[in-house]
Amino acid sequence: MDIKAIRSEFPILDQQVNGKPLVYLDSSATSQKPTPVIEAVNSYYRLNNSNVHRGVHTLGTRATDQYEGAREKVRAFVHAQSTEEIIFTRGTTTAINTIAYSYGNANLSDGDEIVLTPMEHHSNIIPWQQVAKTTGATLKYIPLQSDGTITMEDVQATITSNTKIVAMTHVSNVLGTINPIKEVAKIAHDHGAIMVVDGAQAVPHMKVDVQALDCDFYAFSGHKMCAPTGIGVLYGKKALLEEMEPVEFGGEMIDFVDLYDSTWKELPWKFEGGTPIIAGAIGLGAAIDFLNTIGMDNITEHESKLVTYAMQQLATIDGIDIYGPEKRAGLITFNLVDVHPHDTATVLDAEGVAVRAGHHCAQPLMKWLQVTATARASFYLYNTTDDVDRLISALQRAKEFFGDVF
C-alpha cells in the first residue's frame, strides 16, 4: 500500500492540532473521509440533486440511478445475492432496531431466548432488551474467557432449542475480538434460530461475505468505512425480509394506499419509508469504490501490522493495562494504571493525538473488565507506524504529567 498516496486523499489529516501534526486514532468511532467521497457528495448536490423514485425528469432519473447504483455496489461489496436484500438505513443502530422491532416482535413469545455476548455495543443489547420486555422472551449471554473471547463449547451450551435469535458482533469495538460468526451461525441454524450480526467494526476493515457467513441479517454503518454519517446498511436474507413488516410507514414505501388500508412496495423499498438518504448512499458507493481500489485484504494486512507494532511498543511502557485477546482487529483498548482515561486522552490531545476515552457504548463489558472507562486507539488504512510512535511518546508524556500517581 502506498500510504503516502492514501494519506493525501484525506485532507483532514493534513492539519495541526494544538500545535502538533494531527494523529487520528479514533476511526472505530468514525473514520475520516477521502476526497473522492467528499467530491461524490459535493457533485451530487451541485449537479444532480433531486428526489428519487418519482417523476420522470432528468435530474430525478440521475439521482435514482446513482442511489440504486450505490445499492448494487453495497451488494457486491458484501456479496449478497440480490439488491433486494440491501436496505439503506441510518446506520447500524437503525438496522438492528429494524430487525428487533420487525422480526423480533413478530416471531418471539414467552419462553423464547435471545442469545447475546457481554461484549456487544449497546445498540446490539438494548433493542433486544426492549423486544424481550414486549414479547416475554429472555436474554442469555455466552460467557467471555479472561482474554475477551468466546469458546465454541460455551456457544453450544448457551444456544438451545428455545433460542430463536443469536445476535453477535463480528468484531468487538472495545476488545478487538474477532468472533467466529460462520461457526456460530451454523449452531444457531442447527437449533432453528436465526443469526444476526453487528458488522459495524468488521465491514470497514476486512472482506465480508454474507453468503459465506450464512448469517440471516448483517448490519453496518457507512461512516466507519470512509462514507458520510447518516447512512448504513441492513442486509437480510430475502425469504426473511419478505415475511417481515416494515417499521416505518409513509411515503416511498407503499404500493397502494386507500383510506383504511395500504399495501407495501416490494423489497428493498418497503423498508425505506420517506425520502431516503440519497447523498449518503451515493457517498457510500464512492467509499466502496475507494476501498476496492486499495483492496480490503491490503487494508486488513496493513492494520494487522500496525496493531502488532503498537502492541510491541505499548509493552515497553510500565503501568499500562491492555484489554482483549492477542489475535485482534486494528484497535487497542488500554488504561494507564491509576490515571483516568479522560485525563490520558486530554494529555494525548494536547500532543495532537486523538483517541477515544469512555465506556465505548459497552457498559456491560466495562463491568466485566471491572473498569468504568478506558482509552482506545483505533487504526485505519491511513495510519502509519509514525502515528504509533507519536502515541507512545504522548503516553510517556501522560505518565510524566501524572507521575505522582505511579
User: Which stretches of the chain bind ligand 7TS, using CB under 6 A?
Assistant: 28-29, 91-93, 121, 123-124, 169, 173, 198, 200-201, 221, 356, 360-361
Which three three-digit cell numbers place residue 300?
Answer: 486488513
Other C-beta atoms closer than 10 Å to the C-beta of 266 total: 9
Min separation Cβ 61 and ligand 7TS, Å? 31
Query: Quick one: 22 or 355, whose CB is closer to ligand 7TS?
Result: 355
Min separation Cβ 394 and ligand 7TS, Å? 20
Query: Quick one: 198 or 387, whose CB is closer to ligand 7TS?
Result: 198
Min separation Cβ 200 and ligand 7TS, Å? 4
Min separation Cβ 312 and ligand 7TS, Å? 24
Query: Quick one: 91 or 268, whose CB is closer to ligand 7TS?
Result: 91
Q: How many residues does the chain have?
A: 406
Which three three-digit cell numbers place residue 301?
Answer: 494486512
Among candidate residues 131, 267, 361, 395, the one labeled active-site is: 361
Bridge partners of 357, per DSSP, are 375
CA end-to-end span of the chain: 40
Question: Who's near 284: CB < 8 A, 6+ residues apart?
Answer: 70, 73, 74, 222, 225, 227, 228, 231, 233
Min separation Cβ 223 and ligand 7TS, Å? 6
Query: Quick one: 202 or 267, whose CB is closer to ligand 7TS?
Result: 202
226 classed as catalytic: no
Query: Quick one: 32 or 93, whose CB is closer to ligand 7TS?
Result: 93
Q: Residue 381's closest CA among 103, 13, 97?
A: 13
Query: Quick one: 50 or 300, whose CB is closer to ligand 7TS?
Result: 300
Question: Who's near 123: CB < 8 A, 6+ residues apart?
Answer: 92, 93, 96, 97, 198, 361
Residue whose grid cell is 428493498: 268
Min separation Cβ 204 and ligand 7TS, Å? 10
Which three three-digit cell numbers place residue 399?
Answer: 505518565
Cα angle 313-356-14, degrees, rounded to a multiple of 5: 80
- Point out the residues that are catalytic: 361
